[in-house]
Homo-oligomer: A and B are copies of this chain.
């Protein structure tokens, strides 16, 4: 720890000299008394450890236009559109950083608030971009269970990662994502540990969620929360997208009779009382985002240019 900390300390210093003071790596090497290669390693360590935060502080007109159009079309209270990298296959690039910035923005406020946190790859990537902050005045509540099918803490439940970065009061949900029966869900939800957390989730001032697909790589299936048979049954019943465990049909209605009766997650907080921000981009998520928007499940969105344009093009379904 001390050694590792000292290393990161040096890395941070090297990165500072490089990025802020504008030294070359040769100069840094001389100043820190190490070889040029070591200086390079320190800088690259700082980058890979996420110590170096870069952001482009300029409102790109096209992104602003798209954001405004989306806000108006879907009556959103919040919408952020980041540039698209035409060559990238990443499904989080840019959106993760922007979501992290928005989370930081909320957590930076002095007045106490309740933040709901969903799950998924995108949200996880966002949380990894968070700075360390101290904000004991806020309460952060997980909307989904965090027990993986094998009994371990679910990897894509991001609240534990978030707790490493942010000092606030955390309320994880010690539940599976999907209970084995409707009755089990009732029992679990009635537990004294769970009920206050559910009540807190309902009172969230701001909520960040991801949007899941229900194709063959559906996160619910890949992470083992549902079986292949259940996935197929959901699709046959018309389910197209998933948000914090709940599955929806193209009209934004909960699909009944398969898994939704057993989902142990909190309901998505009400748009009336909470700002519900979805973070998602990419072609595969398009139907899901559209459902969330048209079904009025969300009132905030972080996405990229390409997805924003597709959302504004009349649906071809």
Contact = CB atoms under 8 A, between A and B. Distances in A.
Given A20-B93, A85-B23, A87-B23, A9 B56 contact: no
A23 B12 CA distance: 23
A317 interface: no
Given A20-B93, A52-B56, 11 more contacts: A17-B83, A20-B56, A23-B85, A23-B87, A51-B57, A51-B58, A53-B55, A53-B56, A53-B57, A105-B108, A111-B111
A19 B85 contact: no
B85 A9 contact: no
20 contacts: A6-B61, A9-B62, A11-B58, A12-B56, A13-B60, A15-B56, A16-B94, A20-B55, A20-B93, A20-B97, A21-B83, A21-B93, A21-B94, A31-B87, A52-B56, A53-B54, A53-B56, A53-B57, A108-B108, A111-B111
* Majority-rule SS of A interface residues: mixed
A30 B251 CA distance: 41
Contacts of A55: 20, 52-53
Interface of A: 5-6, 8-9, 11-13, 15-17, 19-21, 23, 27, 31, 46, 50-62, 82-83, 85-88, 93-94, 97, 105, 108-111, 131-132
A182 to B, nearest CB: 43
A9 B87 contact: no
10 A-B pairs closest in CB distance: A12-B58, A21-B85, A19-B54, A51-B58, A57-B131, A16-B56, A16-B83, A53-B57, A31-B86, A54-B54
A120 to B, nearest CB: 21
